[in-house]
Amino acid sequence: MMSNFVAETRGPSPRTPRPRALLAGLLFGLVSFGLVWGGSTALAEPLTIDTETARYVVRPDAGALSAIELKQARFRDDSGNPLNLVSTTDPAYAAFRVSLEDSAGGDVPLKWRAETDTSGVVLLGEGEGVKVERRLSATAQAYSLASTTKVTQTGKTARTLRLKHEVHHYAPSGDLGGGFLFAAHSHSTPRGVCREEGDTRRKEHDKLLAAHGYSNAKFAGVETAYFAQAVALQGAEAGDKELAERCGLVADPRDSRGNVEKPEGFLLSAWVSDTWTTLKPGQSFESGAVLFAGPKLRDELTAAGHDFIELLDLGFFASLSSWLSRLLAFIQGYVGNWGIAIILLTLLVKLVLYPLTEKSFKSMARMRELKPEIDRLNKEYEGDREKKGLATMELYRKHKINPLGGCLPSVLQIPIWFSLYTSLSTNVELYHAPFFGWLSDLSAPDPFFILPLALGALMFVQQKMTPTAMDPAQAKMMLYVMPAMITAFMLFLPAGLCLYMVTNSGLSMGQQKLILVRQERTNAAPSAAQPVGHAGPGTTPKKARTH
């Protein structure tokens, strides 16, 4: 991947005679050096690293990144500007930052300045007997940036040090979810994530008020449903196989500038730590790291290595969710619209599951026919649960009905529906993807709540159509309360997910109607086929007419 390194400027410089230009440049260099190394809040000129997928803005006084801007047209914020994954302005929490820990306690304070060369940006830091040289450069993988850091001991005594590579994400209170079931996991709700060897640890912000740490880590990061920043160690020889000694996660209440007096949200921090190294005067060590910062796209995460693919959280049925995501992308490749692809995928799944749905519906219908008998047994054995249970089971046996027949097919479908729900909830391909009309972003809630209200209405009608053996109070709750609850849940969830729910409910109603018509025809068939003059069971045959 080609990259360009540019120093940002703030307007054109006036044309000056050559001797004056040399003198002005010398004075400017001295002043800049004094501002950076003297601890002033004035900033040196930012530097940028441009790749095909992202633009990284380097903040020299922080020795890290002040912006990570995604270049694709669909990754825009509400104002139409490139989406910036860096959400805090405090230099102490800049993106892809390194901090130097001393075993004697605390971090070593560093003052930074920046340079550029043909291979990247060089950041030079110094403080309390150490010098740090950090080189940032683009990699061949999309949304990735590499870092190589050399630490040299310049003091007169030996000391034990280690580097921490950090990422941070500030989340205002509005992005933390409403705490109302599904709404608590909106696409903007952040989490901390650590990938141990063979296990991925995810923690919500409210579970990270006390720091969590894990050993032998592959990476650490902060993520939302669609985007992530994650950092992993990368040695020159070990490559992707190298493990960090430890990864850590913590969430601190504060505002975006780091103030804790009036917190307006949470700052989530994640880091990986290198091993402790004892340096004698003049000795040095190096530590390499790689940053992934971008949308959680499967191919890009896989290419980036370091187990970054684990940032794609597909839930308990991950393999099935992955397969459904790929199938959705395949359909979209033909129809060219993600909303239509969701409708067609839902239709395809309903067709595949139709035999189970039909079996479940028929079983529920037969159970409904026995409701008068069950009500009689409930009244007859009201005070004796054991006898009532035996009598009910005998009734089922007599009519050859399996009481689990209506539930079991539905239970078998749960993994598929849950996987479909998960794959749609985490699919970044839906980000800013339009459907039609008012639905201009399938990853955002329906702005007019048309789909959630339609879903509630369809579920109400579906409940009216569904045969049930429940008592009137339970049936009433399912008829009114359940559609209202589901509508409330879906109000602030992505429109793409709601579109799937509406499509599923509409198709379920069609299937129920089809099954009901077929069952009525089956029940009416014996009567229609009965020969003339033949009496049905339990009747007295009429005498033959004489002529």
Q: Write down the H helix ranges in 206-288.
A: none
388 to 37, 99, 215, 376, 398: CA distances (angstroms): 86, 71, 57, 10, 15
Q: Which two tokens stand for residue 298?
A: 């499967």
Q: What is the pLDDT of residues 206-233, one digit of tens each?
A: 899 999 999 999 999 999 989 999 999 9
d(CA 440, CA 414): 30
d(CA 275, CA 18): 51
Query: 480 pLDDT band (50/70/90 cuts)?
Result: confident
Higher-confidence position of 473 and 500: 500
333 pLDDT above the threshold of 80? yes
pLDDT at 236: 47
36 pLDDT above the threshold of 50? no
pLDDT at 14: 35
Q: Which two tokens stand for residue 176?
A: 């933390």
Q: How far is CA 158 from the centre of its chain?
A: 45
d(CA 440, CA 426): 18
Strand-pairing partners, residue 70, are 54
pLDDT at 44: 57
Q: What is the pLDDT of residues 235-292, one digit of tens each?
A: 744 444 578 889 999 999 987 677 777 788 899 999 999 999 999 999 999 999 999 9
Q: What is the pLDDT of residues 384-411, one digit of tens each?
A: 788 777 887 887 778 777 666 656 666 7
- Tracing tokens 């099935």 back to the chain, one arrives at 320
Higher-confidence position of 382 and 539: 382
Query: 415 pLDDT band (50/70/90 cuts)?
Result: confident
Q: Are 381 and 387 spatial neighbours (Cβ–Cβ below 8 Å)? A: yes
Q: Are 69 and 83 spatial neighbours (Cβ–Cβ below 8 Å)? A: yes
Which has the minimum average pLDDT: 318-327, 367-376, 483-492? 367-376
d(CA 169, CA 497): 26
214 to 200, 217, 538: CA distances (angstroms): 10, 7, 77
Average confidence (pLDDT) over 425-449: 91
What is the radius of gyration, based on Cα positions, of the chain?
A: 33
d(CA 112, CA 62): 6
| % of the chain surpassing 90 pLDDT | 43
Q: What domains can you pick out in the chain, each with its CATH number?
A: 4-8+41-313 (2.70.98.90), 320-523 (no CATH)
457 to 20, 27, 417, 461: CA distances (angstroms): 78, 73, 21, 6
Query: 294 pLDDT band (50/70/90 cuts)?
Result: very high
195 pLDDT above the threshold of 90? yes
pLDDT at 77: 81
Q: What is the pLDDT of residues 93-128, one digit of tens each?
A: 999 999 999 998 889 999 999 887 777 799 999 988
16 pLDDT above the threshold of 60? no
Q: Are 499 and 346 spatial neighbours (Cβ–Cβ below 8 Å)? A: no
Nearest of 138, 154, 134 to residue 146 by alpha carbon: 138
pLDDT at 429: 92
Q: What is the pLDDT of residues 515-524, one digit of tens each?
A: 777 777 776 7
